[in-house]
Structure 1
Amino acid sequence: MPSVLITGASKGIGRATAAEFAARGYRVIATARDPRALEGLDVAQRLRLDVTDQATVDEAVAAAGEVDVLVSNAGVIFLAAVEASPVAEIERLFAQNTSGAIRVAQAVLPQMRARKSGRLLFVSSVVGRVVFSGNAAYAASKWALEALAEALAIETGPFGIHTTLLQPGTVSSGALDDPLIYRLPDDPYTALATDSLDRSGSLTSEQVARAVADAAELDAPPLRLPVGDVAAALLAARKAAPENVPFVLGS
């Protein structure tokens, strides 16, 4: 029975992913900063893991035993224009969304290298490749994650380890229902510092969970997998857009 360790499994995409893998017969190790939030999940283990705390990462990985698949899902978000974004809050996003994701990957890689097999699945975002106004800090943390994951794919591929970045568009997971927003006094960016993605085509957490589990079962998974039609269209348009043209003010 293959095993999967999931970070940020207390709610939203992480919780749905834990349920999806369990339904497929995996040995699921669900983790969260507060394991009490994992009650009700029918999984093999419920462990404390804070991706920003090395000690809890080491303890959880040791308790988990053999990990065949890592689903790196834990993340946070806030909305603000770049000028209005507190640097300490930008650092908090990077600590969890970027450094935290890599910290957990580093913890499971030694055993995967020793077995010459393993899957690293990072829940990124369409904004890991596309930037929208008011969402720059979150996007930057995902762009950085994508660079590190791409390097991991190159470095660990010879050891039989597959790395995949899942890139959903907006997800009705609750993260954007009442997001933290920062504004300047007499804010000149009021019209911009909002989430610019069209939520009419939002995915459910369960749809993303199925995509994550499907990716774990691909024989030759790609480095990047858009999740949903909106994400696929946005990423295709971004790839096709010329980069050697002047930026149009207000575009």
Structure 2
Amino acid sequence: MSSVLITGASQGIGRAIAVELARRGHRVIATARRPETLADLPVDQRLRLDVTDQDSVDQALEAAGEVDVLVSNAGSTVRAPLESVPLAEVERLYQLNTLGALRVVQGVLPAMRERGSGRLVFVSSIQGRLVLPIIGPYGASKWALEAMAETLAIETGHFGIKVSIVQPGAVSTNGAQQAQSFIAEDSPYAPLYRQLASLRGEVITSKEVAAVVAGTIEEPEPALRVPAGAPAERALKARKEAPENEPFMPVAIDW
């Protein structure tokens, strides 16, 4: 079984991945900014890791020992139109969702390359390939994450490292409910904001996403991009079939 380090394992998808991989017999290293939130997880190690802090990453990876698989899951989102989203919030998302992922990759990659084996699994979103209004900053960070992951697949494949991007759609976690909103009641974008739940489409569970992640890790030749669940498959298929020279929405908007 593999030694798997998971970032952002305190709740939601990350927690479900930790539970599923432990159930399958993997050595799981669960990490979070607050390690006390990991206390009840049935895993081998529980470590503090803040993907935005280099010292925190270095200390966690030293404590973790050999890592066969990195599951890069830590992330966050906000709700705001691009016209008025605070740029500091956009920077925060990139630091966490994109640069944070790269920071941990840079920590585990040298040893994987020297061994000639390893896996990098990035938990992205269908919003890494399409966009939804009012969630644009999050989508932009995931598009950047997927560009980075695909580049890594090209750069490191020769060294025996396999890269996969898992793409869920809407997931029944508290992430959306916890997302900070920067949109006033009288905003001209309020009609879009009020439709956001329906725009997100059919919801799947974090356990379903975890099963896809675990299956990807155990697949001998995993795909680069792996949609998580039927709703994601449908949305991404529709995006692929739509004209590239006009904006695409998976569902209609009612202004």
TM-score by length of 2: 0.94
Contact 2:35 2:48 in 1 (8 A): yes
Q: Give runs of aligned pairs for residues 43-82 of structure 1, distance below 5 A.
A: 43-82=43-82
**Deviations along 1:227-246, whole A, 9 cap, x unmatched?**
11111111011111112358
Contact 1:124 1:167 in 2 (8 A): yes
Contact 1:81 1:192 in 2 (8 A): no
Match of residue 186 from structure 1:
186
Contact 2:81 2:183 in 1 (8 A): yes
Q: Which moved more, 1:27-36 or 1:198-207?
A: 198-207
Percent identity reads 56
- CA gap 1:214/1:245 in 2 versus in 1, 3 angstroms: closer
- CA gap 1:175/1:245 in 2 versus in 1, 3 angstroms: closer
Match of residue 208 from structure 2:
207
Match of residue 84 from structure 2:
84
CA distance in 2, matches of 1:178, 1:62: 32
Q: Give runs of aligned pairs for residues 129-144 of structure 1, distance below 5 A.
A: 129-144=129-144
Question: Structure 1: which amino acid aligns with 2:102?
Answer: I
Contact 1:20 1:210 in 2 (8 A): yes
Contact 1:76 1:93 in 2 (8 A): yes
- CA gap 1:247/1:41 in 2 versus in 1, 3 angstroms: closer
Contact 1:130 1:139 in 2 (8 A): yes
Q: Which runs of 5+ in 1 are unaligned?
A: none
CA distance in 2, matches of 1:197, 1:52: 32
Give the helix-richer structure, 1 or 2: 2
Q: Deviation of residue 186 (structure 1)?
A: 3.3
CA distance in 1, matches of 2:155, 2:87: 31
CA distance in 2, matches of 1:246, 1:39: 45
Match of residue 218 from structure 1:
219
- CA gap 1:243/1:42 in 2 versus in 1, 3 angstroms: same
Aligned length: 251
Question: Structure 1: which amino acid aligns with 2:78?
Answer: F
CA distance in 2, matches of 1:21, 1:114: 25
Contact 2:201 2:231 in 1 (8 A): no
**Deviations along 1:129-169, whole A, 9 cap, x unmatched?**
01011110000000000000000000000000000000000
Match of residue 118 from structure 1:
118
CA distance in 1, matches of 2:64, 2:248: 49
Q: Which moved more, 1:52-61 or 1:237-246?
A: 237-246
SS at match of 2:191: coil
**Deviations along 1:34-66, whole A, 9 cap, x unmatched?**
100101011110000000000010111111111
Match of residue 244 from structure 2:
243
Question: Structure 1: which amino acid aligns with 2:210?
Answer: A
CA distance in 2, matches of 1:10, 1:135: 23
Following TM superposition, the consecutive aligned residue runs of length 4 or more in structure 1 with deviations greater than 2 angstroms are 193-201, 244-251
Q: Deviation of residue 193 (structure 1)?
A: 3.1
- Root mean square deviation of aligned Cα: 1.9
Match of residue 153 from structure 1:
153
Contact 1:130 1:238 in 2 (8 A): yes
Q: Which runs of 5+ in 2 are unaligned?
A: none
Q: Deviation of residue 73 (structure 1)?
A: 0.3
TM-score by length of 1: 0.95
**Deviations along 1:163-214, whole A, 9 cap, x unmatched?**
0000000000111124211115831110123535555621111110110000
